[in-house]
Amino acid sequence: MIRLLAIAGYVYQSAAAIILIFAISHLLPAADYTSFSLALASSQLLCVLMFEWLQLAGLRFLAAASGDEAARLRGSLFAAGLLSAVALVAIGGAASVMSTLTSGVIALGLAVAVFQGIADLYFLAVRLSDRLGTASALLALRATILLCGAVAGASLSRTAGATLLGVASGHVAGLIAAVIAHRTPLRRAPYRTMLADWSNFCRYGMLAAAASVIHLSVPVLLRFIVIGRLGATGAGAGFSIALDLLQRPFWVLNAAIHTVSYPEVVHDFEHGSNGATRSTARMFDFMICATAVMLGGLIGFIPDAGRILVPEESLDGFLVVAPAVAVFYFLHTHLQATIAVVPHLEKLATRLVVVAAGQLAMVTAVSAIAVAAGVSPRGAVACAAVATAIVILFALGPTIRFGAVPRWSLAAEATVAALLIGSLAALPSQPLTWLAAKIVIAAATTAFIAWRGDFLMLARRS
């Protein structure tokens, strides 16, 4: 039941993030929303750059540790996190001289990156202290506070700076709530031991995080390439809304699956369990089927959601690019999260960097060429999706050799379900009974795939 609640918590976070994007797009003028979107995307990139290596190292090493060893590792982890926060401010401040954003927006973007990084690190420590339910509740609470803070800032001032201030305040409040809710045990390690821990973190985490940073850079650069053509217009804002909105569901769903399944996979792998391949394949089943059905749902209901929630001046630009953006993020998420599972287990961090660099180079090249040739934004995103699919094919080697083969019959059923749900976009949504019927069909199809894959029995260990 705890795992089911954890999944529900992540779904709630996704819903809150989607509501936030729609609310901010209505409250801010198109130019301010474009600035807010660029600043937030840049802050996410910096957060990953400076903290992702610690997240990955903590998840990889803490998942198999216990007792005093775990307390020592957590102490070393947070000490490294404080140094990373200082470095983030220094690097971000230096990089800001090349930005067209105002100094206030830049400073708030840096604050968001720092507070989010520290809070995420603490939430990870809570989760790996065998407090999955507590960590999930805290993440849901932070999502609520972020939504309220950002909407309050945008409502009061209607500027990008005020909205970012609300986001930063939400991360601070979430961190304070986490510290109050659970004091995760820490033990200060001797200096030499701490250096040894940092060396282990760096040796694995830095390369793995470099891959994450490169992967995160792909949609950021795609955004800059296309926005460079569209400018701060309604069409540009619509494109930004699509990128902001459709990334979140895939990221949150995969994060939820990793949270409830990956520590068990690491434990089985590290202790030489014969079930490591089976538990990994089970995880792949869940990831592939869940994201496929979600892709169908996004495509099927994007027109309805867009007409209801997207501002009129940005609606046309949003509806044109949203399906292509959804397909791109589906592939991008699997390249970053699914294809990377086995290399993470086997600590093949260099391979992760090579794969990520290959995607960045291919996507940047094809999208820049497409935009220069006068291809539409939708066409440019489609080219980026094709390039990502090609990289996935070249990156499958370690997964195939490991033998963690998902159930292809189940994946085929999920694909058919996704096509069925996606085809609902062609049906009218008026009167409301039609929309209700579409929702019932989508829900029943999703429930069937969940039943076929036994995904509802998350409380039972694989």
Tokens of 279: 């538990």
Spatial distance between the Cα atoms of 193 and 76, rounded to a whole number of angstroms: 9
pLDDT at site 358: 93
The CB density around residue 320, as the number of other CB atoms within 10 Å, is 17
Q: With 0.85 as the threshold, say if the pTM is over it.
A: no
Helix 67-95 × helix 191-201 angle, to 10°: 70
Scan for tokens 């250096």, then name that residue. 195
Mean pLDDT by 10 residues, the chain (462 residues): 66 77 81 81 80 78 69 82 86 70 81 90 81 80 90 87 90 90 76 79 75 82 75 64 80 78 76 75 88 90 78 77 90 90 82 91 90 84 93 90 85 92 82 84 87 63 42
> Distance (Å, rounded) from C-alpha 239 to C-alpha 380?
12
| pLDDT at residue 446, rounded to an integer | 87
DSSP sequence for 439-452: HHHHHHHHHHHHHH
- pLDDT score recorded for residue 145: 92
Tokens 């954003």 belong to residue? 101
pLDDT the model gives residue 387: 94
- Cα 64 vs. chain centroid, distance in angstroms? 24
pLDDT for position 458: 45
Q: CA torsion, points 392, 396, 397, 400, in degrees to nearest 10?
A: -170
Q: pLDDT for 246-290, tens place per residue?
A: 887 888 788 778 777 777 787 778 776 567 888 888 888 888 988
Identify the pLDDT of residue 462. Answer: 39
Strand segments, DSSP code E, in 47-165 are none
Q: Left (φ > 0), alpha (ψ -120 to 50) or beta: where does 359 sit? A: alpha
Q: What is the pLDDT of residue 232?
A: 53
